[in-house]
Amino acid sequence: MNTSTTAKVTIDPDYRIGTIDPRLYGSFVEHLGRCVYGGVYEPGHATADANCFRRDVLELVRELNIPITRYPGGNFVSGYNWEDGIGPKTQRPARLDLAWRTTETNQFGLDDFITWCKAANTAPLMAINLGTRGPEQARDIVEYCNHPGGSLWSDRRVANGYRQPHQIKTWCLGNEMDGPWQIGAKTADEYGRAACEAAKLMKWVDPTIELVACGSSSSGMATFPQWDATVLTHTYPHVEYISLHTYYNNSNNQKPLPAFLAQSLDMDAQIGAVIATADFVQAKLRSPKSMMLSFDEWNVWKNLAEPNKPVEPWAIAPSQVQDVYTMEDALLVGAMLITLLRHADRVKIACIAQLVNVIAPIMTETGGRCWRQTIFWPLLHASKFGRGEALQVIVDSPTYELPDHRPIPVLETMATREDGTLTIFAVNKGAEALPLEIDLRAAGATRVIEHIVLDHADLKAANTAAQPTRVVPHNQDQTRLEGGRLQTQLNRYSWNVVRLATIGQ
Ligand code: AHR
């Protein structure tokens, strides 16, 4: 326990955690609220392109450099017929979506999403319906997407105007199948068997694909982590990843800030528990394969406890779960990104949920403007600078105590290295400025390139259509490097990115 007021960190680039998979900075587009309609897709919008994709949204998505995007759900996928969303738009049926109690018009579907992915420079992470459907439809969708031609479904794709296969590499076997809220929820054995059979058929159609099995929908489930162990026991040889989800709530901004910001430690514990569970199954099955983790839904979801159904059922694309993020939310998102980086050896995919309007870094007005929420910034910085190798950092941080007496480090930090640049990400969770000393003698750091800071005097400050740049990053120039030792001060409640040139640059 460090009772001083200074944090001390040591970084040695020889101590590596692993190579960062760029897919750590993935996101998620679900047919929920205004994520698709009025978000990525809006006929008639001033910026809409020939496909009715909003170019203003595309620009921000490209700025974030999102390597992979999960689609089409979420809870939505568990009642979805993917065939409804292909072919001529005038012939696509409107359906009741029981997950969110809305009407789905199917004007945007699978092929449209693939076209959008190309425009957004992202790869699809396609989820299949294992709620109301099974192995047969799982086989069909892979045939439609990935088979070159000469069969019923691949020829249907060609007839729909897509001669080249979509070549979707990574697929999710359902969504949150342990949750009673899920359409077609299952026991671990029921789901494990269904996922195993679906996986076999999908890989028999295309052996090059990789698959994500549904882990527990949160570490708060009574069946966590036994669900994960049972599911993996059924599916281990057929899948490459087990999924994790978490959302941290802020009960309408009422949760005490120290407890709110401490929640990234729960994410760390959840990852540790799933790794231990996967490794237990690996040992039990005497498998040489290490299971990787896909943290394919994570974010702050402030009003999680509130019912998220629209007041008027069966509306088309109503405003649902449109959280407005504040400065303090950006701090927790930053700490969660640091946590994911800390496990870069096992967490290979992670998707901030979601991308546009629905608990999202990007917000839009239907027919109007689009802007960056506060949480856009840590995601952008991590995606831009957090590539290459994840490094072990030795941290000696002051702590604060929660009412349950848990000591919480005031400093959350992580380092990455790529092409002669060392990047240090840090969150100061404290109410005071935090002096920070970093021993970089082994790192060959030669100069400070920049120190980016995101902070705000008002922790409830948010960006809105009227004030889109209220919370934006700025640079500080008080960070010094001398004799391989870095000295700086992290502003109270701040997200920081310190970038350093190293020998060879
Ligand atoms: O991202 C919103 C919802 O949260 C998803 O549909 C579901 O998978 C999770 O419970």
User: DSSP characters for 325-362?
Assistant: -BHHHHHHHHHHHHHHHHTTTTEEEEEEE-SBSSS-SE
Nearest CA among 202, 65, 62, 226 for reference residue 136:
202
Question: For residue 152, with 0-12 CB atoms within 10 Å meaning exposed, 13-18 middle and 19 or more buried, which class applies?
Answer: exposed
Is 400 within 8 Å of 412 (Cβ atoms)? no
pLDDT exceeds 90 at position 52: yes
Q: Which pLDDT score is estimated for 249?
A: 86
Helices and strands of the chain, counted as H and E runs: 10, 24
Class of domain 7-15+391-502: mainly beta
For residue range 308-340, what is the model confidence (pLDDT) as tens digits?
556 689 999 999 999 999 999 999 999 999 999
Atom of ligand 1 nearest to the CA of 76: 6
Identify the residue whose C-alpha is closest to ligand 1 atom 4. Answer: 74
- What is the C-alpha to C-alpha distance for residues 386 and 372, in angstroms, rounded to an integer? 20
Atom of ligand 1 nearest to the CA of 181: 10
Nearest CA among 299, 296, 381, 392 for reference residue 24:
296
Nearest CA among 68, 65, 11 for reference residue 417:
11
Identify the residue whose C-alpha is closest to ligand 1 atom 2. Answer: 74
pLDDT exceeds 70 at position 281: yes
Atom of ligand 1 nearest to the CA of 75: 6
Average pLDDT over residues 366-377: 98
Q: Which pLDDT score is estimated for 364?
A: 98
Catalytic residue among 42, 143, 297, 328: 297
Query: In the structure, which protein residues have their CB atom closer than 6 angstroms to any atom of ligand 1?
Result: 30, 32, 73-75, 175-176, 297, 353-354
pLDDT exceeds 90 at position 304: no
Is 172 within 8 Å of 212 (Cβ atoms)? yes
* 12: its two tokens: 């040695």
Identify the residue whose C-alpha is closest to ligand 1 atom 3. Answer: 74
As a whole-number percent, the residues of the chain with pLDDT over 70 amount to: 97
pLDDT exceeds 90 at position 13: yes
Distance 98 CA to ligand 1 centre (A): 13
Query: Which of 114-133 are b and which e, b meaning 16 or more Cβ less than 10 Å from the residue's Cβ?
Result: bbbbeebebbbbbbbbbbeb
- What is the C-alpha to C-alpha distance for residues 70 and 354, in angstroms, rounded to an integer? 9
Nearest CA among 96, 123, 36, 131 for reference residue 355:
36
Pocket test for ligand 1, best of 27, 30, 98, 102 (most atoms within 8 A of CB): 30
**Helix or strand holding residue 190 (H, E):** helix 188-205
Distance 99 CA to ligand 1 centre (A): 10
For residue range 139-196, what is the model confidence (pLDDT) as tens digits?
999 999 999 999 999 999 999 999 999 999 999 999 999 999 999 999 999 999 999 9
Mean predicted lDDT score pLDDT of the chain: 96
Identify the residue whose C-alpha is closest to ligand 1 atom 7. Answer: 74
pLDDT-based confidence at 252, cuts 50/70/90?
A: low
Distance 158 CA to ligand 1 centre (A): 32
Cβ-Cβ contacts under 8 Å for 182 (sequence gap 6 or more): 75, 78, 131, 175, 176, 217
- What is the C-alpha to C-alpha distance for residues 115 and 58, in angstroms, rounded to an integer? 12
Helix, strand, or coil here: 15?
strand
Identify the residue whose C-alpha is closest to ligand 1 atom 8. Answer: 74
Average pLDDT over residues 249-254: 71
Q: Which pLDDT score is estimated for 312?
A: 86
Give ranges for CATH 2.60.40.1180 in the chain.
7-15+391-502
Q: Which amino acid is at 377?
A: W
Q: What is the dihedral of CA 211, 114, 26, 33, to 10 degrees?
A: -110
Residues 46, 56, 108: CA angle, nearest 5 degrees:
80
* CATH architecture classification, 21-385: Alpha-Beta Barrel (3.20)
As a whole-number percent, the residues of the chain with pLDDT over 90 amount to: 95
For residue range 220-248, what is the model confidence (pLDDT) as tens digits?
999 999 999 999 999 999 999 999 999 99
- What is the C-alpha to C-alpha distance for residues 436 and 373, in angstroms, rounded to an integer? 28
Give ranges for CATH 3.20.20.80 in the chain.
21-385
Q: What is the dihedral of CA 102, 108, 111, 112, to 10 degrees?
A: -140
Pocket test for ligand 1, best of 212, 245, 359 (most atoms within 8 A of CB): 245
What is the DSSP pairing of strand 7-19 with strand 389-396? antiparallel
Catalytic residue among 30, 176, 197, 412: 176
For residue range 374-417, what is the model confidence (pLDDT) as tens digits?
999 999 999 999 999 999 999 999 999 999 999 999 999 999 99
- Residue bearing tokens 């000696």: 396
Pocket test for ligand 1, best of 28, 297, 298, 302 (most atoms within 8 A of CB): 297
Distance 192 CA to ligand 1 centre (A): 20
Q: Answer positive or negative: Cα dihedral of 259, 260, 265, 266.
A: positive
pLDDT-based confidence at 64, cuts 50/70/90?
A: very high
Q: Which pLDDT score is estimated for 302?
A: 83
Q: Which pLDDT score is estimated for 195?
A: 98
For the question of residue 176 being annotated catalytic, the response is: yes
pLDDT exceeds 80 at position 307: no
Distance 162 CA to ligand 1 centre (A): 30
Q: Which amino acid is at 110?
A: L
Distance 477 CA to ligand 1 centre (A): 41
* 59: its two tokens: 């620009």
Atom of ligand 1 nearest to the CA of 99: 6
Residue 416 CB coordination number (10 Å): 22
Q: Which pLDDT score is estimated for 444?
A: 92
Average pLDDT over residues 33-49: 98
Nearest CA among 177, 23, 166, 206 for reference residue 82:
166
Distance 177 CA to ligand 1 centre (A): 11
Q: Which pLDDT score is estimated for 271?
A: 98
